[in-house]
Each structure stands twice: as C-alpha cells, then as structure tokens.
Amino acid sequence: MSESNFVDYVKIYCTSGHGGGGSRHFLRTKGNPKGGPDGGDGGRGGHIILQGNKQLWTLLHLKYTRHLKAEDGGNGARQLMTGANGKDVIVEVPLGTVARDVETGNMEYEITEDGERIILLAGGRGGQGNDHFKTATHQSPKFAQPGEPGIESTKILELKLLADVGLVGFPNAGKSTLLSVISAAKPEIADYPFTTLVPNLGIVSAGNGKSFIMADIPGIIEGAHEGKGLGLRFLRHIERNSLLLFMVPVDSRDIRSEYNILLKELKEYNPELLDKSRVLAITKADLADEEITRELRKDLPDLPCIFISSHKKLGLNRLKNLLWAELNK
C-alpha cells in the first residue's frame, strides 16, 4: 500500500435533503366542484448514509470529495399523492471507519461489518398535506405543513485498520523488514527513522492453510500520545489489532525499559489497549551470540518473548507459530 494511495483521514461537508412540502389541494371534479381537502404529504429528504465494504482498505476515493448533498423530497400532490423521497447518498467506506463530529471531536459511529449501514445525517421529514388538518368544525383547511429542512454538518471520517497482529516499536526496530520477509507486502525499508509513513498490511502464512493479517504501524516515539512524531495519526490503528507484537532490537540499551516506554505510550493513549494479548520479539538477534542472549533472557518482561532475525531468517517460523497460538487462545 503506497503512501500516495493510503488515506485514513478525510473531512467532508454533508447536507441531507430537505423534506417536501405538504399539498394544500382541494378535490375539484365535474360532479363535485367543491370537494374537501385532498392534499398529499411531502416526501422525506435524502439521507447521507455510510456503508461498510470489506473490499476497501483506504479512504482514498473520498480524498477529493468536499461536499455530499442528498436530494430533497418531492412535494405532496392532489388525490392524497405523497411526494417522492429524496435520493439517499450512500458512501462506501472500509471496515473500521469512524465518523466524528468536527466541532466536538466525539465519535458518533463506527462501521465494523460488511454491508452495515448507518445514517450519518437524516433527511428532513416531509410535511403533512391539508387532508390531515380537516376537522368537524374546520372542513376546508387551506394550509399544510412545510417539509423539515435537511441537516448541514462537517464530519471527519477516520480509518482504523483491522488486522490480527499489530507491530509496535520505535522507528528502525525492524517492523517493515519483518513484514516484508514473512508476507508478500513490500513496505519501504531504509536505515533511517520514520521510513514507514503509512501503515502496511500483509497476509502471513502459518502453514497448513492457516494465515493471519499483520499490520506494520509507523514507529512510535516517546511522547507519541501527545502527538509527537507521527503520534496520534497512527496510534488509532493499533486499537483494532487483536494481538500486539512489540519489537525491540537486541542492541537496545535496555530492552525492558524500551518495552515499558512503548507500553506507557499505549496506556496514555488508550488504557484499553493493555487488555490485548502481547508478544515481545527481540529483533536483530544475529548481532548477539548465545552468551549475550542467555544474559538478556534473565531480565525480559513477563510475557511470551522470542529472539528473531529477519535478515538471517532466524526464529521466524517459531514466531509465526507463537503468534498463531496466541491468536487462538
């Protein structure tokens, strides 16, 4: 997924349709020149609707959509004919799309299932025709209800990628390299921080027809929950991962300390992230001999840990088996 094709944030000005006005018509026929009221109701205005589509992975198709406007409802007519409903605007979005109000920032809806529909902005109701207002004492009402106006609002659509395993680590921890080695994904890889500027997804085969989806999330730095580095822009993607694979290089000054910093950033962003299953991979293990590895094992955090080397392809099958086992606990 190239940087230019991945869009996970769009802002759209939306307007739902106005309801049609009720009719003030009176029945007039050759045999009944002074008939009673027969004005029909107005049709409702069109809705702005979000619909989940599992085939989509990005909001790219909405990048240049500045304004969504639904159709107005038709006016009522004689002989109690109801006006046509305004045509809805249906916006297809990837699973994991969240809708927020631009003024409050509050989450209003989240699309999680294929084909799921939610009404982002409801169209105005159609007005009632004058037939509704006749009474025994007022048999010829010359008025009808106007249609309700539509709603105007600016909405933010954000995407949270859905993956089984999310890679969590500081820049240059080897996340992109691992994904490129154990899946068909081809993320950009270089020896400098923040090479990965967009999340990348890859399907990892665990043998015997078993597979899972892995997401390479751009590197976190200390203070990411406050927006430092790429910060809040990508932390939300971790929310929809079933399992978190923390990655710390073997040549780190203090593996446990680095792991705790990563954990703290997730906790500060959303404490619920700590409820997810976690595995720690010590990367670049080819740089350490057996004696160093034994010493490092003595002070590792209390969670499933494994030493791997994507460059030398060491421990990768054991890693995949471990991840599969943790995902299916």
87-139 per-position pLDDT tens digit = 999 999 999 999 999 988 899 999 999 999 999 999 999 999 999 999 989 99
How many residues are there in the chain?
A: 329
> What's the pLDDT at 4?
52
Cβ neighbours of 15 (radius 10 Å):
20
Strand partners, 156: 11, 100
> What's the pLDDT at 230?
46
* Residues lower than pLDDT 50 in the chain: 1-3, 189-196, 224-231
Helix axes 316-327, 175-182, angle to 10 degrees: 90
> What's the pLDDT at 235?
72
CATH class of 163-327: alpha beta
Concatenate the DSSP letters of all residues of 148-203 into one string.
PP--EEEEEEEE---EEEEEE-STTSSHHHHHHHHSS------SSTT---S-EEEE
> What's the pLDDT at 5?
67
Judged on CB neighbours under 10 Å (0-12, 13-18, 19+), 321 is middle
> What's the pLDDT at 239?
82
> What's the pLDDT at 193?
44
Q: For the sheet containing 89-93, what is the strand order?
A: 89-93, 48-52, 117-121
Concatenate the DSSP letters of all residues of 38-105 into one string.
-PPPPPPPPPEEEEE-TT---SGGGTT--EEEPPPPPPPBTTTBPPPPPPPEEEEE-TTEEEEETTT-
Distances in Å between the Cα of 29 and the Cα atoms of 40, 83, 130, 232, 234 are 17, 22, 18, 69, 68
In three-state secondary structure terms, 329 is: coil
Residue 303 · residue 278 · CB < 8 Å: yes
Assigned fold of 1-159: Spo0b-associated Gtp-binding Protein; Chain: A, (2.70.210)
Structure tokens at 153: 């609002």
In three-state secondary structure terms, 254 is: coil
Residue 49 · residue 68 · CB < 8 Å: no
Cβ neighbours of 64 (radius 10 Å):
8
Q: How many CA atoms lie within 13 Å of 34's alpha carbon, on the beta-carbon side?
A: 2
CATH 2.70.210.12 positions along the chain are 1-159
- Using the 8-state DSSP alphabet, how is residue 279 labeled? E
User: Which residue pairs, CB below 8 angstroms and at least 24 apart, start in 275-278?
Assistant: 276/241, 276/242, 276/243, 276/244, 277/242, 277/243, 277/244, 277/326, 277/327, 277/329, 278/243, 278/244, 278/245, 278/246, 278/303, 278/304
- Closest by alpha carbon to 82, among 118, 132, 139, 151? 132
Helix (H) or strand (E) holding 298: none
Helix (H) or strand (E) holding 218: none
CATH 3.40.50.300 positions along the chain are 163-327
Q: How far apart are the first and last CA of the chain?
A: 30
Pairing of strands 97-101, 89-93: unpaired
